[in-house]
Chains A and B, each alone.
Chain A
Amino acid sequence: MPDDSHLLNTLKSDQPDAALEELFELYADPIYRLALSLLGDPAAAEDVLQDTFLAVMTHIQEFEGRSKLGTWMYRIAYNFSQERLRRKQPDPLPEEDFSEEEGFSFSPQALIDWRWSPDDLLSDKEIRQILEEAIQKLPESLRVVFLLRDIEDLSTEETAEILRLSPGAVKVRLHRARLALREQLSGYFTERLSKGVQG
């Protein structure tokens, strides 16, 4: 996460709006991706983005600086997204308890080696579609951890703080998300290899 202490100084000054453009450049995309990944709806993700920036700009004096500004922003966006999810589904199914590793067994099904160059893979529209579908199939609690850790490159501790989880629970969720995605992609690539299509 970038060092944004200079931004914070401007935001807490008597001219906070001077920091808006830089704040937007730094955080609009990751906040949008987080909201989109949770809500699956670009219009709703735009609304969460706006709500998050308005909350940050108008409540900045309440930010005590115990965490980084970015962590606080992610947390606001995460909570706004959760509020929307609760409105959509007031009584969600109980989440599986991911706090303990115990009881989790995993037997990889696809053991085909499908190492191809990511550059080749990413120019393929079908594969981008597969990546998107695979991540959307993950339970929300795993998807959000994978997004923050492996796509946004946040640390275990930052992710734990944003989601109010223990670092151990973040690690367990990340582990399961990675293996589940690997399994899904391996299934796809095994089929693709059997058809003789190269990367």
Chain B
Amino acid sequence: MKCEELLTYLSEYIDNDLEAELLTEVRKHLETCHNCQVVLESTKQTIQIYHQAGMRSIPQERRSEIFARLKDALDHCKENPPDLPHGM
């Protein structure tokens, strides 16, 4: 297996989503290829950083206001409910 080919399977390798035969080939290549090891580890690191960082949640100071606004809107829309978005 060449580096270029390995890269196409990188994401599935990370997700443990490769069939046994391919998995063996990927592992064999990784044992001897430093560059692919670096790409693999830094891709895993990228995923881990984002996972841990999460993304911005609702700002704490907005949370109760948004909920109050929602309850109020709900009380007012029961007679005339809003449409579902296009594509539902």
- Which residues of A pack against B, CB within 8 Å? 17, 20-21, 24, 28-29, 32-33, 36-37, 42, 46, 49-51, 53-55, 57-59, 62, 75-76, 79-80, 82-83, 101, 104-108, 110-115, 118-119, 121-122, 128, 131-132, 135, 146-147, 150-151, 153, 164, 171, 174-175, 178-179, 181-182, 185-186
Q: Are A128 and B42 in contact (CB under 8 A)?
A: no
The residue on B at minimum CB distance from A121 is B49
* Residues of A contacting B: mostly: helix
C-alpha gap A28/B70 in the complex (Å): 11
| A36 → B minimal CB distance (Å) | 6
Contact pick for A29, options B41, B57, B69, B83, CB 8 Å: B57
- In the complex, 6 of the A-B residue pairs with CB atoms within 8 angstroms, ordered by the A residue number, are A21-B67, A50-B70, A62-B84, A108-B35, A151-B51, A174-B11
Give chain A residues whose Cβ lies under 8 Å from the Cβ of B38.
Answer: 111-113
| B83 → A minimal CB distance (Å) | 8
Given contacts A58-B77, A122-B49, contact A115 B70 (CB under 8 A): no
Give chain A residues whose Cβ lies under 8 Å from the Cβ of B17.
Answer: 171
Give chain A residues whose Cβ lies under 8 Å from the Cβ of B42.
Answer: 110, 113-115, 182, 185-186
C-alpha gap A104/B48 in the complex (Å): 25
The residue on B at minimum CB distance from A104 is B8
B86 at the interface (CB under 8 A from A): yes
Contact pick for A151, options B45, B54, B69, B71, CB 8 Å: B54
Q: Are A131 and B50 in contact (CB under 8 A)?
A: yes
* Residues of B contacting A: mostly: helix
B interface, size bucket: 35 or more
Q: Are A185 and B46 in contact (CB under 8 A)?
A: yes
C-alpha gap A91/B81 in the complex (Å): 29
- Which residues of B pack against A, CB within 8 Å? 4, 7-8, 10-12, 14, 17, 35, 38-39, 41-43, 45-59, 62-63, 66-67, 69-71, 73-74, 77-78, 81-88
Give chain A residues whose Cβ lies under 8 Å from the Cβ of B85.
Answer: 51, 55, 76, 79-80, 82-83
Give chain A residues whose Cβ lies under 8 Å from the Cβ of B62.
Answer: 46
Q: Are A113 and B41 in contact (CB under 8 A)?
A: yes
C-alpha gap A82/B52 in the complex (Å): 27
Give chain B residues whose Cβ lies under 8 Å from the Cβ of A17.
Answer: 74
Give chain A residues whose Cβ lies under 8 Å from the Cβ of B43.
Answer: 178-179, 182
| B55 → A minimal CB distance (Å) | 5
Q: Are A58 and B78 in contact (CB under 8 A)?
A: yes
Given contacts A24-B67, A50-B73, A55-B84, contact A178 B48 (CB under 8 A): no
Q: A32-B58, A151-B54, A178-B46 are in contact. List 19 more A-B contacts (CB 8 A).
A: A20-B74, A24-B67, A28-B58, A33-B56, A46-B58, A46-B66, A50-B70, A58-B78, A59-B81, A79-B85, A80-B85, A104-B8, A106-B7, A107-B4, A115-B42, A150-B51, A164-B87, A171-B12, A179-B10
